[in-house]
A and B are shown apart, each in its own frame.
Chain A
Amino acid sequence: MSVLVDKDTRVIVQGMGNTGRFHTETAIAYGTQMVGAVHPSKAGTTERFTGPTDHSGVPGRPDTYDVEVPIYRTVGEAVAATGATASVIYVPPPFAADAIAEAAAAGVSLVVCITEGIPVADMVVTKRILSDTATRLVGPNCPGVITPEECKIGIMPGYIHNPGRVGVVSRSGTLTYEAVHQLTRNGLGQTTAIGIGGDPVNGTNFIDCLDLFNQDPATHGAIMIGEIGGTAEEEAAAWIATNMTKPVAAFIAGTTAPAGKRMGHAGAIISGGKGTAADKIRALEGAGVLMAATPTDMGSAMLEAMNGR
């Protein structure tokens, strides 16, 4: 079991440029079902990917891949032809918000937007559009979603992951890798790792992911990695206190980040003085979450939290 994605998830890619092609190939090598791509000017053609899989030599799994990915004019056409339920977006920032809206309009149920640098105002509008749909957005500005050995949607290095018992949710890309790596080393492994992205306006939040992990029988504990700014971690803490039945560990980055470098006072007012690392840590500890003192201790904090139950 896992959340959001598994071995049966059929994925299309929006934005088959150099970046999109590179990551489509690594996803295929990992074993992900990449079933189509959207690129208006290349519609009607295909991209062929061949090579050794990440799991060459593993008994029962294929050593090589040879995949023909058809390219469609629109997301709607790609979905109709392939039956894809998930989409990954590598479209450049000025056009990425529109790509999210197009995927939602085509009825894609999971949209993972990797693109970094989308204007905030575009995301405000897009989030408003998504509120009228059943589409779940992960990101933008995130590493993506991975269920180890089943489905990799995004830019994370696949080999650091290992199937296991912990759900990972994080606002930061490389800190996710750090946590995943530690969980692989200490044997806990991951059910699914979700990068929700570091932008001020994003889709899926901490609470959404914790709720999914809470309901997933294979997930025995969850680790959340937050950072300063906003109040998403405080809101997650309140949710954990009343709803979470599984152990949670956490790390918050930015304890030492300077408060200055800010114009005016409005940013501080909006959060009512909240949003510092100290506030977030206090809120999470108050909710019974075990805090990792340093980023090197994330895996051991998770282990301790799970052994404590």
Chain B
Amino acid sequence: MKVHEYQAKALMQSFGIPVPLGSPATTVQEAVEAVRPLIEESGNPVVVVKTQIHAGGRGKGRFVEHPDLGGVTVVTAGIEGGVAAAETEVRSLAEQMLGSTLVTVQTGSAGKRVNRLYIEQGIDIDRELYLSVLLDRAVSRNIIMASTEGGTEIEEVAASTPEKILRAEIDPAYGLLDYQARDLAHSLGLTGQAARNGAEFMATLAAAAVDLDSDLIEINPLVVTTEGEVMALDAKMGFDPNALYRHAAVEAMRDESEEDPAEREAAEFDLSFIKLDGSIGCMVNGAGLAMATMDIIKYVGGEPANFLDVGGGATAEKVAAAFKIITRDPNVKGIFVNIFGGIMRCDTIAEGIVDAVREVGLEVPLVVRLEGTNVELGKQILDESGLAVVSATDMKDGANKILELAP
């Protein structure tokens, strides 16, 4: 699960991690009202207006409605004109940004509608660094990664100059050790008070990642101010969905407007669903088999419309819900159901399909491949239903048949 930048910063602040002052705003009025207290408290006449969407690359992103406007805009009007001038500028920006669509490298060409802004104090930046805490699957531990090359192109840095990516493994029994944090700070070129601040920042962040069950914290850039302070100028945080049950405060930060409605509905039925751009709807049990089903559709020349794993313990009701979610997608020209019954019995799947089709109808071809537990019973239910179901003998046969029927 993802949260917005301002939420990530609030969580970090609760651990004592330095972040700039800021206020979230969902209306123009809130944005304007945030300006005076920020300028007065920080003593800095500069403020920054930052769009809050679940995608990176906001600074270089542009609005569909306002092609000259970026998703992160620095307001300097306050330097000459004081608070009133800053407020006027923020009002104008908020009016343009709220409700408009921001396109960044991570949103896709459709972009994302901006519903929230974050108004933040300006920071006098000396250096921009990169910092993240995440699981390294190869060692089954969290690692902390840092680089002197802060900014948005960190992926490129990793590819072209991997030696500029510093890393330290975190032993879950002890956390990030002091010497590891000191080494990283030193390697980042920090000295004096900035080195001490940097080491403390990293140690606290590593501990916060564990406490919050975060599966990714990325701070890009991590800035050193002209005063030697080390703070998070941006923050991305993701959380382990399996651990949300013990983090009610994080769960409450969920922004449903950022999630795909069909994916959200699927989640309510405990179905794993990801919308794709193709025309062949898929319903499969098991994540690996679901991926393999997408692969084989592509292999025979088709394009999958979705990934859908109904899981191991599906009921007829769940299967029916899955079927409805698939058929609602107007791009779907055919459906391929691929089930290898283990605990999940083929008759359960068949009943779910029959129920769903009786309820919502079936306007596209349907190919069903059943194998495993109670397969004969499942086939019998489909045969006796009178539905126009084409049965397949194996996955490849099924993929070929749905492609013939829905080219």
Contacts and interface: CB of A to CB of B under 8 A. Distances in A.
Contact of B134 (A172, A201, A270): A270
Given A157-B373, A175-B289, A257-B294, 10 more contacts: A116-B312, A119-B240, A119-B246, A231-B137, A232-B137, A253-B291, A257-B291, A261-B274, A266-B145, A269-B154
A201 B137 contact: yes
B394 interface: yes
A256 B295 CA distance: 5
Nearest to A261: B274
Interface in A245-293: 251, 253-258, 260-261, 263-270, 272-273, 277, 293
14 contacts: A127-B140, A157-B341, A174-B285, A227-B288, A228-B291, A229-B137, A235-B138, A254-B291, A256-B294, A257-B294, A263-B2, A269-B165, A272-B162, A294-B296
Contact of A258 (B137, B276, B289, B297): B276
B143 interface: yes
A134 interface: no
Contact of A296 (B213, B236, B394): B394
Contacts of A175: 286, 288-289, 292
Nearest to A172: B288
A177 B292 contact: no
B342 A156 contact: yes
A121 B210 contact: yes
A122 B140 CA distance: 11
Nearest to A228: B291
A198 B287 contact: yes
Contacts of B343: 155, 157
B136 A94 contact: no
Q: Categorize the interface residue count of chain B.
A: 35 or more
A143 interface: yes
B278 to A, nearest CB: 9
Interface of B: 2, 54, 56, 106, 108, 132, 134-138, 140-143, 145, 154-155, 158-159, 162, 165, 171-173, 210, 213, 215-216, 218, 220, 236, 238, 240, 242-243, 245-246, 274, 276, 284-289, 291-299, 304, 307, 312, 340-343, 371-373, 394-397
The winner among A120, A155, A297 for most chain B CB atoms within 10 A is A120
A225 interface: yes
Contacts of B56: 263-265
Contact of B218 (A178, A253, A264, A296): A264
A28 B297 CA distance: 39
Given A230-B137, A256-B304, A257-B294, A117 B289 contact: no
Q: Categorize the interface residue count of chain A.
A: 35 or more
B105 to A, nearest CB: 11
Nearest to A185: B394
Nearest to A255: B295
Interface in A217-234: 225, 227-232
A84 B150 CA distance: 55
Interface in A146-172: 155-157, 160, 170-172
Contact of A295 (B218, B296, B342): B296
The winner among B236, B299, B343, B396 for most chain A CB atoms within 10 A is B343
B395 A265 contact: no
Contacts of B213: 119-121
A117 B245 CA distance: 11
Contacts of B373: 157
A107 interface: no
B138 A173 contact: no
Contact of B216 (A121, A124, A267): A267
Instruction: Give me the 5 closest cross-chain CB pairs, A-B, nearest first.
Output: A172-B288, A174-B286, A119-B243, A174-B289, A296-B396
A231 B138 contact: yes
Nearest to B309: A174
Contacts of A267: 134, 216
Contacts of A269: 132, 145, 154-155, 158, 165
A30 to B, nearest CB: 13
B155 A268 contact: yes
Nearest to B143: A270
A175 B284 CA distance: 11
Nearest to B285: A174
B158 A172 contact: no
Nearest to B158: A269
Nearest to B293: A295
A177 B143 contact: no
B171 A128 contact: yes
A124 B141 contact: yes
A174 to B, nearest CB: 3
Interface in A56-101: 93-94
Contacts of A52: none
B342 A143 contact: yes
Given A117-B242, A265-B154, A173 B395 contact: no
B145 A270 contact: yes
A118 interface: yes
A173 B245 CA distance: 25
Nearest to A202: B140
A89 to B, nearest CB: 16
A254 B134 contact: no
Nearest to A127: B140
B316 to A, nearest CB: 18
Contacts of A265: 56, 154-155, 158, 218, 220
Contacts of A171: 288
Contacts of A231: 137-138
Nearest to B397: A296
A155 B312 contact: yes
B135 A201 contact: yes
A299 to B, nearest CB: 10
Contacts of B141: 124, 128
A5 interface: no
A200 interface: yes
A276 to B, nearest CB: 13
